[in-house]
A and B are shown apart, each in its own frame.
Chain A
Amino acid sequence: MTRILVGLDGSAPGERALAHGKMLASLIGDCELILVYVIEWSPYEFHTPQELDERHKRREEELAQAHAHILEPARKATEAEGFKVETVVRHGDPVSILEELAVARGAAQIVIGRTGHRGMRERLFGGVSGKLIATASVPVTIIPETGADQ
């Protein structure tokens, strides 16, 4: 069975990636879509002591919200269309999480959407899509903005 990793972000670019993933899956036939949502987090961020002692609670809330608002609605809608779906939510750096998951699950490719607005930081250091293309060990498909989104 072929597996395709689709990065969701709770907005239009993620929707486009999912649409493209479904298109590929229906062409392939025996294909599972792994929907991934990454909560940006770094073990090297600094926090106040107060934040640290609430961290576990906040993490649980973040996970519950990601499931409730992003992954579950997407899973329901996609399954309703007859696709096989798995969902994953993780804390960390989106690029390395997507890469690690793709390797671990033996995914054939990663599909993500490109965000329209590019801030100074992204221009300087490259966004998720740029870094993923440079480092991923499986093919990556980047879905650009279409006229319909704008």
Chain B
Amino acid sequence: MTELQRMSRIPAVLLAVLGLVLMLAASPLAAQEATDPVASEQEGAAPDAVMEETQQGAVVEEPAVETAPAALTIDQKVDQVFASSTGWFVSLIFAPLPGTSFPWIVLWLVVGATVFTLYFRFIQFRAFGHAISLVRGDYSDPNDAGEVSHFQALATALSGTVGLGNIAGVAVAVGIGGPGATFWMILAGLMGMASKFTECTLGVKYRNEYEDGTVSGGPMYYMVKGFRERGLAGGGIMAIVFSIFCILGSFGGGNMFQANQAHAQLSGILGDYPGWITGVIFAAIVFAVIVGGIKSIARVTEKVVPFMGILYVGTALLIIAINYHQIGWAFSQIFAGAFTGLGVAGGLVGALIQGFKRAAFSNEAGVGSAAIAHSAVRTKEPVTEGVVSLLEPFIDTVVICTMTALVITISGVQQIDPETGLFILNDAGMIATTGDVQGVQLTSAAFATGLSWFPYVLAIAVILFAFSTMISWSYYGLKAWTYLFGEGKTTELVFKLLFCFFVIVGAAAQLGAVIDFSDAMIFAMAVVNIIALYCLLPIVRREVNSYFDRLRSGEIRKFGAHAAAE
């Protein structure tokens, strides 16, 4: 990009920021009634709901509201002010469709995924085998050894999405929607693969490669360059809006929320202690990695995280194996629940909403974050990275989330009325469980039925997942930040320091409204991103046709082992 282009962009950035701030400040009234989108969504079924589900799916207990205003802490004041100025945006993003409790943003993501699935004629099934072949390196030029491999790009992107949502979020979905939610979750996960394919292909195609060999990619780049190529207007503005959402989302859902939940886990093991201690320790480690460039820490985490993921799935399979006589029953529960609800709040629709929501929230397909993560791969063919990326929702949702759901179902911790075969609901409209647990505790209790010590491993896994998600989102946020303010040591440092600061804030404070807002930002990214994807579909189709033609004709071939040394 030339200096001139960057200069001309600055006023637009300022305008967009100003506009956003004005919008937020303008309507404090609208916010009063609906600061909590999910609670309002559950109102129909569960007027007394005390649980609040966030994007990542953790269950946060509403702090008891102290009535005396004098008792308000600084946190609570900040939270109040924030809630009253941004609540309307949150409720807009998570607003239910008229007459239902179905959030429109979930429909937006599912419709997008369906359109991409049909447009690319079920690419997620047609190219699945090819995706595995690419990840194994069959098509990698041995002379490119030492460059970023498909496997590395996939693993790094995955460590950003696998997290609390897979463990706690699924428990919330199954807790409200019953085992039937699993069916819809898997279906939405399979569809989401096509969204990932589309955005990651574009991410690689339109990335910027700089003279020093570094790359920057993501929705902001395909919005600008792709729209220009198609002769469409508005790409520049969309890129700016997307970047703003992405930065705010990286501070919130990708950071404060993670720090907050990691602290909740730690204090669950170690006993209650002030959150700022966790915050400072986490911030110091994040600082060491993203500012200090201490690779050893990152390397350890990046090694432990996949290990934890495999351990998690392995343990789940073990528990399922122990209860092998229940497997048939569990699947019949999932299918029956998917179409009848088996007595859950909202019946079929209740199960469907929970399943779709969980899949959409967990694998981030359509949000645009993956397009940033996958851009670093070394390949001449953008389609290859798109194909590889479609494995991401598969692993995240279809494998890992499903394991959680299966273990919860099979463990029998959810109570069933022996006479009717339907689930017993508690006062909050969730399925009653042995020990009355929900959220991450439900997952924990389900695993503990097989292995009593597993909750400790789970707690460690959650903390590590939280950390790796923070590292990934620090990068997504940074790319959006440098897109707006230009690449350079100083501007990057400003962002990284801000990011570390928000780690402490997130762990120390109970800022429900702040976290709601940043969750909303992550989904706002999907609004802009999916519009851009629709506009750029013909370009992706051209790439896809060209690539698969050459693959069929044998022009693109596997590299044999001995070709390596030529």
**A contact set with B: CB distance below 8 Å:** 39, 41, 43-57, 59-60, 62-63, 90-92, 97, 100-101, 103-105
- Distance, CA A135 to CA B13, complexed state (A): 60
Q: How far is the CB of A5 from chain B (nearest CB, A)?
A: 10
Instruction: From known contacts A43-B140, A43-B152, A49-B471, infer whether A55 and B289 are also in contact, taking CB-CB under 8 Å.
Output: no
User: Which of B293, B299, B472 is the one whose CB lies under 8 Å from A49?
Assistant: B472
Q: How far is the CB of A94 from chain B (nearest CB, A)?
A: 12
- Distance, CA A44 to CA B446, complexed state (A): 33
User: Which of B147, B212, B302 is the one whose CB lies under 8 Å from A48?
Assistant: B302
Check if B146 sits within 8 Å of A49, measured CB to CB.
no
Check if A55 sits within 8 Å of B148, measured CB to CB.
yes
Q: Which residue of A lies closest to B473 (CB)?
A: A49
- Distance, CA A39 to CA B147, complexed state (A): 12
Interfacial chain B residues near A90, Cβ < 8 Å:
145
Check if A55 sits within 8 Å of B216, measured CB to CB.
no
Interfacial chain B residues near A49, Cβ < 8 Å:
156, 160, 372-373, 376, 471-472, 475-476
- Distance, CA A85 to CA B133, complexed state (A): 38
**1/0 contact trace for B289-301 toward A, CB 8 Å?**
1100101001100
Check if A91 sits within 8 Å of B146, measured CB to CB.
yes
Q: How far is the CB of B138 from chain A (nearest CB, A)?
A: 11
Check if B153 sits within 8 Å of A48, measured CB to CB.
no
Interfacial chain A residues near B476, Cβ < 8 Å:
49
**Does B566 make an interface contact (CB < 8 A)?**
yes
User: Which of A41, A56, A104 is the one whose CB lies under 8 Å from B378?
Assistant: A56
**Does B565 make an interface contact (CB < 8 A)?**
yes
User: Which of B137, B140, B376 is the one whose CB lies under 8 Å from A55?
Assistant: B376
Instruction: From known contacts A46-B299, A47-B156, infer whether A100 and B145 are also in contact, taking CB-CB under 8 Å.
Output: no
Check if B376 sits within 8 Å of A52, measured CB to CB.
yes
User: Which of B140, B306, B478, B561 is the one whose CB lies under 8 Å from A46?
Assistant: B306
Instruction: From known contacts A52-B156, A100-B564, infer whether A43 and B472 are also in contact, taking CB-CB under 8 Å.
Output: no
Instruction: From known contacts A92-B145, A101-B565, A104-B562, infer whether A52 and B153 are also in contact, taking CB-CB under 8 Å.
Output: yes
**1/0 contact trace for B208-248 toward A, CB 8 Å?**
00001111100000000000000000000000000000000
Check if A39 sits within 8 Å of B146, measured CB to CB.
yes
Instruction: From known contacts A43-B151, A53-B375, A100-B564, infer whether A48 and B156 are also in contact, taking CB-CB under 8 Å.
Output: yes
Q: Which residue of B lies closest to A99 (CB)?
A: B565
14 contacts between A and B (CB under 8 A): A41-B145, A46-B156, A46-B302, A46-B305, A47-B148, A47-B299, A48-B295, A49-B373, A51-B298, A52-B153, A53-B375, A63-B146, A100-B564, A104-B562
Interfacial chain B residues near A53, Cβ < 8 Å:
214-216, 375-376, 475
User: Which of A51, A56, A100 is the one whose CB lies under 8 Å from B147?
Assistant: A56
**Does B303 make an interface contact (CB < 8 A)?**
yes
Q: Which residue of A lies closest to B153 (CB)?
A: A52
Interfacial chain A residues near B159, Cβ < 8 Å:
46
Q: Can you name 20 extra interface pairs (CB under 8 A) apart from A43-B137, A47-B152, A53-B475? A: A41-B145, A43-B145, A43-B151, A46-B156, A48-B295, A48-B302, A49-B372, A49-B475, A51-B295, A52-B376, A52-B377, A53-B214, A53-B216, A54-B214, A55-B147, A56-B147, A91-B145, A103-B562, A104-B564, A104-B565
- Distance, CA A92 to CA B564, complexed state (A): 11
Q: How far is the CB of A95 from chain B (nearest CB, A)?
A: 13
Instruction: From known contacts A100-B564, A103-B565, infer whether A57 and B212 are also in contact, taking CB-CB under 8 Å.
Output: yes
Interfacial chain B residues near A39, Cβ < 8 Å:
146
Q: What 8 A-B pairs are tightest by C-beta distance, nearest first?
A: A91-B146, A104-B565, A57-B213, A46-B302, A43-B149, A49-B475, A52-B376, A91-B145
Interfacial chain A residues near B149, Cβ < 8 Å:
43-44
Q: Which residue of B lies closest to A43 (CB)?
A: B149
Q: Which of B370-421 contact A (CB under 8 A)?
A: 372-373, 375-378
**Does B155 make an interface contact (CB < 8 A)?**
yes
